Amino acid sequence: MSRPHHPQKPYPEEFKREALELVRSSDRPLAQIARELGVSTESLRLWRKQAEIDAGEREGLSSEEREELRRLRHDNRILTQERDLLVKAAVLSNRQRNAASRVSAGVLKPSVCRGRVLSLRAISSSWGWV
């Protein structure tokens, strides 16, 4: 059984900037500075890497590009969900329209169609036939 994950709140940007300045200006190892600041060595290493990317000193996505990518992925996820919902609604609407056509053509009984009680008057009025 895995332990529950409790995400830690992000460190303030000012704290990160000051920590990175300390890393740049100090001769001490990264692990020692991280220990003194009470952060993980990996966090401090990632902050340094991202700062180098943002400054153009290293290849990779800048913080702004990362934020835009995150937002675009979120928007894409919502649009995909909306599209899927519209496709399902269109299929359902088409099934109902086909059932109403079959009822009006006398192929199906008007009282029950595929387990649903149909009212020919309600169906035809909702589609503007009446």
CA dist., res. 120 & res. 127, Å (int): 11
Contact 61, 52 (CB under 8 A): no
Q: Give pLDDT tens digits for 42-90.
A: 999 999 999 999 999 999 999 999 999 999 999 999 999 999 998 888 8
CA dist., res. 103 & res. 119, Å (int): 10
pLDDT band at 111 (very low <50, low <70, confident <90, very high): low
Q: Taking the domains of the chain in order of start, what are their residue ranges? A: 10-60
Q: Which fold has domain 10-60?
A: Arc Repressor Mutant, subunit A (1.10.10)
Displacement of CA 97 from its chain's centroid (Å): 34
In the predicted structure, residue 6 carries a pLDDT above the cut 70: no
pTM of the model: 0.52
In the chain, % of residues over pLDDT 90? 54
Reduced to 3 states, what is the DSSP secondary structure of residue 4?
coil
